[in-house]
Amino acid sequence: MKKILVIHGPNLNLLGTREPKVYGKTTLAQINRKLQNIAKKRKLSLTIKQSNHEGEIVDLIGRAKKKFSGLLINPAAYTHTSVAIRDAIAASGLLTIEVHLSNIYSREEFRHHSLITAVAKGAILGFGEESYYLGLEALADLI
Ligand code: DQA
């Protein structure tokens, strides 16, 4: 069974109550349950992590290379700032899909640039929680 690592970046633990007009009312636990259901159907094994700490995310990706076949990541605010997470993904060589709940290009200008997309296979954004599910389906098809 192929293994996928899912990483939720900073503040995504607050989903459900965090700016619901932007991010929806679904909690992270609900999203994770749905991801596990999709994984079961697609015969994938998922390990799901959430961290508010850049270095911890770098460590998770650094250790993932041998264990996992793919990475589904919402780097959240680090999307726009983290050379370290970008470098970790590039170094891992993992097939990576970047996801965002919101359409970062229709929001504030500082969100218009992602440091991650260039090292990802692709990005899915703007579909709310559906972005995660589409991202996982895409990974399942590609790995
Ligand atoms: C986000 C978009 C980011 O700009 C923001 O910092 C987040 C969430 C999204 O999923 O829409 O925390 O990655």
The three-state (H, E, C) secondary structure of 12-79, written as one string: HHHCCCCCHHHHCCCCHHHHHHHHHHHHHHCCEEEEEEECCCHHHHHHHHHHHHHHCCEEEEECHHHH
CA of 41 to the centre of ligand 1 (A): 28
Give 87's contacts (C-beta < 8 A, 6+ positions apart). Answer: none
Question: Given the CA of residue 74, which atom of ligand 1 is nearest to it?
Answer: 13
Closest residue to atom 8 of ligand 1, CA basis:
76
H/E element holding 85? helix 83-92
Task: Compute CA 110 distance to the chain's CA centroid, rounded to the nearest angstrom.
Answer: 19
59-103 tens-digit pLDDT = 999 999 989 999 999 999 999 999 999 999 999 999 999 999 999
Taking the centre of ligand 1 as the mean of its atom positions, its distance from the CA of residue 1, in whole angstroms, is 30
Give me the domains of the chain, ranges plus CATH numbers.
Answer: 2-104 (3.40.50.9100)
Contact between 96 and 70 (Cβ < 8 Å): yes
Residues within a 6 A CB radius of ligand 1: 11, 74, 76-77, 79, 100-102, 104, 111
Tens digit of each residue's pLDDT (9 = 90 or more) over 27-67: 999 999 999 999 999 999 999 999 999 999 999 999 999 89
Instruction: Name the residue of 6, 22, 26, 79 whose CB sits within 8 Å of the most ligand 1 atoms, as the mutation to test its pocket.
Output: 79
pTM attached to this predicted model: 0.97
The tokens for 16 are 């459900």
